[in-house]
Every structure is written in C-alpha cells, then in structure tokens.
Amino acid sequence: MTSTEHPNVAAVNDVLAAFGSQNRVQILPAEARTAAAAAEALGVTVGQIANSLVFDADGVPLLVLASGAHRVDTAMVASLCEVASVRRATPDFVRDATGQAIGGVAPVGHPVRLRTLVDVALARYETVWAAGGIPHAVFPTTYDELLRITGGVAAEVA
C-alpha cells in the first residue's frame, strides 16, 4: 500500500471532497511529526501549521487546531469549554478518538466528529497546512475551510 492509499489519507480526502474543497492530501518525502518539521519541509512559517492536538476534557476528546507558533493554554481552554480540566491525551486515547497516531492526526477523517476549537491566530495566513492522517501527509487549507470542515469554533487557545 502506498501512502496515498492509506485509509487515513483516504478518509481525509473523502471529507475534503464531501465539503467541496479542491485541496487534497500531499505526501512529504519524510515524516513531519512536529510543526517545526512540517514548516521546514513545506518552506512556510511554523505559524502556518495547524497542529491537531487532542486533549482529554473531563474524559471526552477535544480537538484543538492550534497554530504551530502557539502553546495551548489548557486552563483557558477548560474555562472556554466549561469543563473541570483539559489535559494532554495519551497516545491510546488519541488513537481511540481519531483512528490516527500522534504526529499525523488530521483535523478530519475520524470515526466521529470531535468537538473542535480552531485557533484564531490561523486566520492571519492565506494558506494553512494541516496533517493528513499519517506523519508524512499534509494538506493545504484556509482558516475558514478548517472551521467549515471540522464544524469547529473559532477560539483564542494560547
């Protein structure tokens, strides 16, 4: 199976197509498990990378699409989501919630739609890059498209 045939890549592409996006997943020559690595591979600023971070919000998965230039303020996000705590999820929690492994979690293509916050800082970029379901897959998008395809809520997360 090639990377473009991977079920996670296909799931992301299916969501993009279903929402009428012209964008599709692209395969990088090497894994890009961090925003810095993805930015370097793409020749863009780290702020243009939409990190798909899954948190455990009182036992419920919460997806935060944060600019690669930001560190998520979990206390602020917990308050915004009206939950007692938001903490970094374990790798098993992430895989159970998304069907994808940390380092390649896409904003879409999960077994069920996750509650999602989208960092307002991403709005300043014409093109934003997000993971495509595996560590060496990405796709170009826009802030508005991220909101639309995820059903996410615009939020200050850092």
> How confident is the model over 105-158, as pLDDT tens digits?
999 999 999 999 999 999 999 999 999 999 999 999 999 999 999 999 999 999
Per-residue pLDDT band for 15 (boundaries 50, 70, 90) equals: very high
Give the domain ranges of the chain: 3-155
Query: Average pLDDT of the chain?
Result: 96
Q: Distance between CA atoms of 56 and 86, rounded to whole angstroms?
A: 6
pLDDT of residue 106: 98
Residues 6+ apart with CB under 8 A from 124: 47
Proportion of the chain above pLDDT 70, given as a percent: 97
Q: Distance between CA atoms of 110 and 100, rounded to whole angstroms?
A: 8
The residues with which 26 forms a beta bridge, in sequence order, are 138
CATH topology assigned to domain 3-155:
YbaK protein (3.90.960)
Per-residue pLDDT band for 19 (boundaries 50, 70, 90) equals: very high
* pTM of structure: 0.95
